[in-house]
Structure 1
C-alpha cells in the first residue's frame, strides 16, 4: 500500500509555504511517485516582515528566534492541515517539513551548521500525523554541505534518460545536479537565482519580485557592475559547495549597484545577467545534452530567455514535460526524503553533498498513531513518476 506524504517547503525567497501531496510506494527497487497536487499559501505579511528583519546581515536575539520558530511552525501547521483536507480527502500518513532556512553556516568552503525553523510539533499537534523535519543537519554532521539535497531525487529520476542530462533548480539560490549517469554524480549551488533580484525589488518598491521580469527587460546591463559581481570568490570554488542569503543578500550589492527608482531597471537587468551567466557557465562545464529545470525562476521570462540563449543548442525544458510538477518539485523532494527516513533509508548521495557516507536524514516528531511502513524496503534504484489514479 502506498503512503500519502505531504512535503512542505518555504525556500530562500520565503514568499510562501508550499505543500505538495504525493503517494509513494515501493515496486521492488523502484519508488513509484504519484503527484496529488500542490497548495501554496503566502506568509502573513507581518510574519514575512519579521523573517526579513531576522535574516543576515541583520542582528537578531534569541527571543526573536523563538517567536519565529513558533509562528512559522503554526503557519506550516495551517498549510499542512489544508493539504490533508484539500489534496488528500482528509487522509494522509506523514508530513515532511523542511521549515524555513534562516542561516546556513559555511566557513572556508565547509558547512559548519545550518538552521531551519518552524517547530514541527505544531504540525503534529494540528494534523495528528508524524512529522519528519530538520533534514540538513545530519549530512553536515557527516562532513557534507547539507545542500543541495535534491541530488538523490534527480539521480533516481533522470539518470536513465539518454545523453547527459543536467537538473536545474531556480529558487532563491540556483543549484544543479550533474553527471547523473555516473557513479559519482555532483550537486551544488551555483549562486543566486532570484535572491538578489527579489531583494533589490523589495528594497526599492516594496513589491516581492519583478513580475514577469518586466523591469529587467526594460533595463540595460551595466558591464562594470557585472564584472565586479562576477568576481565574488564563491563562483570559483569547486563543488561540492553550498550557499544562501548569508552571502547573497542586499549588502552584497553595496558599492556596486545603485538601488533607487531611477536605477532599478538597470540593476535588475544586471542581476538577471549575473544569474543567467553563472548558471549557464556552471552547466556548460559538464557537457550537457539537455537541462531539466524547475523553480520560480522559470516563471520569469526575462531570466529564462537569457539562460536559454546562453545555453545555445542545449535544450532548456521544464520538469513538467517529464511529469514532475515544476512548481512543486522542492516540496515533493522533502516528501520523498521523509518517506525514505521513516523506512530507515538514506536520503543523500555522498558525492552530491561531500559527506563521508550516506545518511538517514531528519528527526521524527510522533503523531497520534503508529506510522505504517514496510518492514524491509529495498534501497531504491530509480524513481518513476506516474499520474494520480
Structure 2
C-alpha cells in the first residue's frame, strides 16, 4: 500500500558533493519543536558515469567554451537527479504528489565567496519539468549576498538533528572537503571547513591506480607517513585562518598537491597516500583541538566515515593532542553517514517552505539569518 503520510510534510533532498561520485537522495519529514525530529522514509544513490564526472571536474577551472560545456553538464545532471527521485519514490511506494518539494544542492564548480560568488550547476527548472515536483535550489548565494561564506550550511541541520543539552559534541563531515560543526550544550554553534577531506586522496589514487577512491584506506595503510611532506602540507595558510571560512577544489586540488611534491620527486606513491590521509586527519584534529577542546564525542559523516584507516588516524591525532574523544560515525546517532547531507538539504527545503532562515550567521559570517533557496514551481 502507498505510504499515507501527509504530503505537506515530505521533502526530498538531493546531494552531489565535492567527491563527484554520484547523487545521494533521501525522503524525510520533520516534526517541529526545539529539536527537530527527522523521519527518513527512503534513501537512494545514483553513481555518476566516468564521462560526466570528468566533465564536471574539468569545469573546476576555466577553459575553452566552458559556458556551453557547463550547460550540457547541468542538463545531464538534472537527468541523474530525476532518476534518483524516481528511484526514491519507487522504493518508498510514494506518489510524486506526496512530495512537497525537492531540495537540490547542485554540483559546486566554483566557490569564491571572497569575490562574492559561488556556482552550483544543475538546471533545477529542468528537474521540476522532469519530476512534476516543485524544486528548491541555489541555497548558497543568498548567504553570500548577505556577506557570508555561503558554506558550510549543514551545521544548522546538525544542530537541529544532533544537538544535545547533556553533551558537547562535534559532527565532522568528510566528503571531498572536511568540515566540522561544534555543538555545545548551550546551543552555540561553530562550524567551518577544516581543509581537504577525501579530495586529495581520491585525486592521488586516481592518478596512480585509476581508482575513484582508496577503499577503506587500504593503499594508505600500506605506506608510511612522510613527516616533512606532512609538515609542508600543513603550512597551507588557509588552515590558520579563523572562522568563518570555507574552501573547496578551487584551493585543494591536484595542482596544489603537485606543486608541493616537487621536492619529494622520488617519494613512494603509497607513502604519499599515507601522508595525505594523515593530512586530512591532522587538519580535522587541529581544528577540533583549537575550537572544541571540551568535546568528548566526534561523530563522522560523509564518505570518510567508511574509511576505517582514516577514522583511526583521526582518533590517534586527537589523542596525541590530549583529547580522548570517541570517534565514531553518525550511525550511532541513528543516521547513516552517507545520508546526512541529503537529509540536511531536505531540511533546508522544509525551512524555505516554512519561511524560516536556513543559515547560521555565526557559522557563515552573514549579516543575519536569511531564508535560503530559490523556488522552481512544477507548474
User: Normalization by structure 1: what TM-score?
Assistant: 0.89
Task: Specify the alignment match of 1:31 in structure 2.
Answer: 36
* Structure 1 residues 256 and 114: CA distance shift in structure 2, 3 A: same
Q: Is 1:118 aligned to residue 125 of structure 2?
A: no
> Secondary structure of 1:326's match?
coil
1:51 equivalenced with 2:68 (yes/no): no
1:7, distance to aligned residue in structure 2 (A)? 0.2
1:125 offset after TM fit, Å? 1.2
Query: After superposition, what is the alpha-carbon deviation per residue over 1:359-386, rounded to whole angstroms, capped at 9, x for unaligned?
Result: 1001000024xxxxxxxxxxxxxxxxxx
Q: Mean alpha-carbon deviation: is it higher for 138-147 or for 44-53?
A: 44-53
Equivalent position of 1:339 in the other structure: 350
State yes or no: 1:141 paired with 2:145. yes
Partners of 2:190 and 2:267 in 1: CA distance? 41
Residue 96 of structure 1 corresponds to which residue in structure 2? 103
**Match status 1:307 vs 2:314:** yes
Does 2:369 align with 1:358?
A: yes
Secondary structure, in 3 states, of the residue corresponding to 2:149? coil
Correspondence 1:13 to 2:24: no
Give the corresponding residue for 2:333. Answer: 322
- CA spacing shift, 1:274–1:164, aligned 2, 3 Å: same
2:3 aligns with: none
**For residues 223-262 of structure 1, what are the structure 2 equivalents within 5 Å?**
223-257=227-261
**Cα displacement (A) at 1:158:** 3.1
Secondary structure, aligned partner of 1:6: strand
1:147 and 1:21 map into 2 onto residues whose CA distance is 23
Residue pair 2:26, 2:339 contacting (<8 A) in 1 also: yes
Structure 2 unmatched ranges of 5 or more:
1-5
* Aligned-pair CA distance for 1:260: 9.6
Cα distance change of structure 1 residues 161 and 111 upon mapping to structure 2, 3 Å threshold: farther
CA contact (8 A) 2:111 2:247 kept: yes
Alignment gaps of 5+ in structure 1: 369-389
Instruction: Deviation per CA, 1:28-74: give whole Å up to 9, x if none.
Output: 55533201222111112211121122223766621111111211122
Deviation, 1:11, is 0.5
- Which residue of 2 is the match for residue 387 of structure 1? none
Question: Going by fraction, where is helix more abundant, 1 or 2?
Answer: 2
Name the structure, 1 or 2, with higher relative contact order (CA <8 Å, separation 6+).
Answer: 1
Q: Partners of 1:210 and 1:58 in 2: how far apart?
A: 29
Question: TM-score normalized by structure 2?
Answer: 0.91
Counterpart position of 1:385: none
The equivalent residue for 2:305 is 298
After TM superposition, the structure 1 stretch with the greater mean CA deviation from structure 2, 265-274 or 56-65, is 56-65
The residue that corresponds to 1:169 in the other structure is 173
Between the aligned partners of 1:359 and 1:133, the Cα distance in structure 2 is: 15
Whether contact under 8 Å (2:22, 2:47) holds in the other structure is yes
Q: Deviations over 1:125-149 (max 9, x none)?
A: 1211101101000001111111110
Within a 5 Å distance, the mapping from 1:148-187 to structure 2 comes to: 148-182=152-186, 184-187=188-191
1:375 paired residue number: none
Query: 3-state SS of the aligned residue for 1:347?
Result: coil
Aligned length: 364
